[in-house]
Amino acid sequence: MQVLIILLVGLLLYFRPADAQVTVQVLAQNSVTWDGGDFRYPTAIPQITVVKIKVPQGAQLPEHCHPVPLAAYVAKGAIQVTTSAGVQAVFNEGQSFIEDMNRWHRGVGVGTDTELIVVYAGAKDLPLSLDRNGQAELVKECE
């Protein structure tokens, strides 16, 4: 009986499916933002923040500015981003982009409800986004 069990276990191990392969796919990598802008890392105590943003179809994010670099992944739907200079881009489900830093811009969900996964490379006590009435010393950095 033990021989039979050992034989069965051996056969199961021999004929098991090949191990799944781990894959790595770079979703976004650049030294400039989606529209060619520069970014730099804060010099304070670093703090990484990951957020999920849900934008209903047609909803518009208010004009804002980021004092920290960030990357976004469109998990669902699509987002149209427009800078204060009128430059526009649409990012669809499955796409990633390096967002503008220190530039005023707004976004609108297009087509369907949109979900973004955003990674901010910020600093402790530094806001992730600013509106025009935000901290004066940071707002003046925004174009």
pLDDT tens-digit readout, 41-81 = 999 999 999 999 999 998 999 999 999 999 999 999 999 99
Which of the two residues, 19 and 52, has the higher pLDDT score?
A: 52
pTM of the predicted protein model: 0.81
Q: Please give the Cα distance from 114 to 45 (Å, whole number).
A: 32
Q: Are 142 and 85 in contact (CB under 8 A)?
A: no
Contacts of 51 (CB under 8 A, 6+ apart): 117, 118, 120, 128
Residue 112 pLDDT > 80: yes
Which of the two residues, 20 and 128, has the higher pLDDT score?
A: 128
| Model pLDDT, residue 5 | 40
Residue 9 pLDDT > 90: no
Query: Which of left, alpha, beta for 106 (phi over 0: left; psi -120 to 50: alpha)?
Result: beta
Work out the pLDDT band at 6, boundaries 50, 70, 90. very low
Q: In DSSP terms, which residues pair with 49 in a beta bridge?
A: 120
Residue 108 pLDDT > 50: yes
E strand intervals along 22-142: 46-55, 70-83, 88-92, 96-98, 105-123
Mean pLDDT across the chain, nearest whole number? 88
Q: Please give the Cα distance from 119 to 121 (Å, whole number).
A: 7
| Model pLDDT, residue 100 | 93
Q: Which two tokens stand for residue 36?
A: 């060619």
Task: Output DSSP code: residue 37.
Answer: -
